[in-house]
């Protein structure tokens, strides 16, 4: 299999590398840190050994004085190693550590705060369309998502269905993060209806038959496992009354599709609309993390109901995007963007749709979604709008 070049920015010193399972962290590191000493904490024997004696890491490094790079894969499995790494970072400035993790839940204890101040933090995301090049297929992406583990599988559909079970078994059940795994599984399904929407935790709690506080705890677990993210409302220089709640997204549209139940009463266009919005969201999120400037992702929604799906704001970057699944653009589709532009004339605004041609309607560019995703490049300051 050809190794794709990722647009992930490689920090120069020691760093944490976070990302959900299957996003390519280990593959990337084995290609870029091929001479490093490697601790695979998913290996049961290694996990037991370092849980019993985390200081063994110092002995391993002392036995190889020429060593420069150390990779500890899935550091959350043995959080006690953070104390040892902290000591080694302080005592030997020539050593470079890369600590990967698919969960941050157990890392917020002990020396995490001190160590996080000395190590950089980077994130690995699912594939971007530009990384796949000619292999990118919009329809496949909407159905399978862009997690490398799933995309490169011989049987993507089967791997996609098994992905959530992998997390439930290896991260949730094995680590005893919840008492009732069945209720947590129902929660993951129920909250899939909120993908791309404002969260109503009371409604989710009723569907799961658990208390609201329990749902809040479940939601924090999903965030800690990096399976989902939320984006806040853009309030800078607000001229209108805005909503206060965040929007929720699973980190990959394929994972969303695998968890979102579909029956005869479900409209396919609703599911596919949420999938398309999520696909754009994960691309923007990756673009921001791989981009050299400090940029953040928001959405905009007034209490009267005008909504713009995404606002990207930072130094020298300010643009707003509305996403429509339709292959035809109507004037009413541009109403929210025109309202946003009235409030923020400095912003660039555009609409992404499923058509094939670039249009200009009422001064607003309407861009084919596939074209936008293929041209979105973190190495370039300008976005294709």
Question: Could you tell me if 334 and 208 lie in one domain?
Answer: yes
Average pLDDT rounded to a whole number, residues 24-50: 92
pLDDT of 311 reads 97
| Residue 1 within any structural domain of the chain | no
Q: Which of the four pLDDT bands, split at 50, 70 and 90, describes residue 175?
A: low
Q: How many domains does the chain have?
A: 2
Average pLDDT rounded to a whole number, residues 331-356: 95
Q: Does residue 168 register a pLDDT over 60?
A: yes
pLDDT of 269 reads 76
Return mean pLDDT, the chain: 90
Question: Could you tell me if 108 and 178 lie in one domain?
Answer: no
| Residue 305 within any structural domain of the chain | yes
| Residue 205 within any structural domain of the chain | yes
Question: Could you tell me if 349 and 212 lie in one domain?
Answer: yes
Question: Could you tell me if 57 and 192 lie in one domain?
Answer: no
pLDDT of 1 reads 42
What whole-number distance in Å separates Cα of residue 126 and Cα of residue 144? 12
| Residue 210 within any structural domain of the chain | yes
| Residue 134 within any structural domain of the chain | yes
Average pLDDT rounded to a whole number, residues 223-234: 94
Question: Could you tell me if 192 and 151 lie in one domain?
Answer: yes
Where is pLDDT greater, at 361 or 109? 361
Q: Beta strands 317-323 and 307-314: pairing type? A: antiparallel
| Residue 4 within any structural domain of the chain | no
- Asked which of 67, 98, 123 is the last residue of a domain, the reply is 123
Tokens of 51: 């849980």
What whole-number distance in Å separates Cα of residue 188 and Cα of residue 385? 34
Question: Could you tell me if 244 and 325 lie in one domain?
Answer: yes
Whether 127 and 148 have beta carbons less than 8 Å apart is answered as: yes
Q: Does residue 2 register a pLDDT over 60?
A: no
Question: Could you tell me if 197 and 317 lie in one domain?
Answer: yes
- Asked which of 78, 103, 123 is the last residue of a domain, the reply is 123
| Residue 67 within any structural domain of the chain | yes
Whether 253 and 275 have beta carbons less than 8 Å apart is answered as: yes
Question: Could you tell me if 301 and 156 lie in one domain?
Answer: yes
Question: Could you tell me if 103 and 158 lie in one domain?
Answer: no
CATH number, domain of 55, equals: 3.40.50.300
pLDDT of 119 reads 87
pTM value is 0.93
| Residue 340 within any structural domain of the chain | yes
Q: Does residue 338 register a pLDDT over 50?
A: yes
Where is pLDDT greater, at 370 or 32? 370
Contacts for 11 with CB less than 8 Å, ≥ 6 apart: 120, 122
Domain of 93, in residue numbers: 15-123
- Asked which of 123, 158, 187 is the last residue of a domain, the reply is 123
State pLDDT tens for residues 100-141. Answer: 999 888 787 656 666 777 888 899 999 999 999 999 999 999
pLDDT of 111 reads 62
Question: Could you tell me if 286 and 302 lie in one domain?
Answer: yes
Question: Could you tell me if 253 and 329 lie in one domain?
Answer: yes
CA 189 to centroid of chain Cα atoms: 18
Q: What percentage of residues in the chain have a pLDDT greater than 70?
A: 96
Question: Could you tell me if 162 and 261 lie in one domain?
Answer: yes
Q: What percentage of residues in the chain have a pLDDT greater than 90?
A: 66
State pLDDT tens for residues 284-330. Answer: 999 999 988 889 999 999 999 899 999 999 988 999 999 999 999 99
């Amino acid at each position: 299999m050809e190794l794709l070049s990722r647009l992930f920015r490689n920090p120069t010193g020691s760093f944490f590398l976070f990302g959900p399972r299957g996003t390519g962290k280990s593959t990337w590191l084995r290609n870029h840190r091929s001479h490093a000493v490697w601790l695979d904490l998913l290996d049961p024997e290694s996990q037991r050994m370092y849980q019993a004696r985390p200081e063994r890491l110092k002995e391993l490094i002392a036995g190889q004085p020429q060593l420069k790079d150390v990779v500890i894969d899935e550091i959350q499995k043995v959080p006690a190693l953070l104390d040892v790494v902290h000591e080694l970072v302080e005592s030997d400035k020539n050593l470079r550590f890369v600590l990967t993790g698919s969960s941050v839940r157990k890392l917020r204890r002990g020396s995490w705060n001190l160590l996080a101040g000395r190590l950089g933090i980077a994130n690995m995301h699912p594939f971007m369309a530009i990384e796949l090049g000619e292999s990118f297929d919009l329809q496949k992406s909407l159905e399978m998502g862009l997690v490398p583990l799933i995309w490169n599988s011989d049987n993507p559909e089967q791997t996609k269905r098994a992905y959530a079970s992998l997390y439930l078994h290896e991260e949730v059940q094995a680590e005893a993060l919840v008492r009732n795994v069945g209720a947590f599984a129902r929660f993951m399904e129920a909250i899939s209806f909120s993908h791309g929407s404002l969260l109503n935790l009371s409604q989710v709690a009723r569907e799961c038959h658990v208390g609201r506080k329990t749902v809040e705890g479940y939601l924090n677990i999903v965030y800690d496992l990096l399976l989902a993210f939320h984006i806040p409302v853009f309030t800078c220089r607000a001229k209108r009354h805005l909503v206060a709640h965040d929007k929720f997204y699973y980190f990959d549209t394929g994972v969303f599709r695998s968890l979102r139940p579909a029956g005869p009463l479900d409209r396919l266009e609703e599911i596919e609309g949420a999938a398309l919005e999520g696909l754009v969201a994960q691309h923007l999120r990756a673009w921001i993390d791989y981009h050299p400037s400090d940029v953040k992702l928001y959405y905009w929604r007034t209490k009267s109901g005008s909504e713009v799906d995404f606002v990207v704001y930072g130094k020298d970057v300010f643009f707003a995007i509305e996403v429509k699944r339709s292959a035809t653009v109507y004037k009413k589709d541009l109403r929210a963007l025109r309202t946003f532009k009235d409030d923020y004339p400095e912003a660039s605004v555009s609409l992404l749709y499923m058509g094939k041609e670039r249009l200009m309607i009422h001064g607003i560019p309407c861009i084919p979604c596939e074209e936008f995703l293929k041209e979105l490049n973190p190495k370039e300051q300008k976005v294709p709008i």
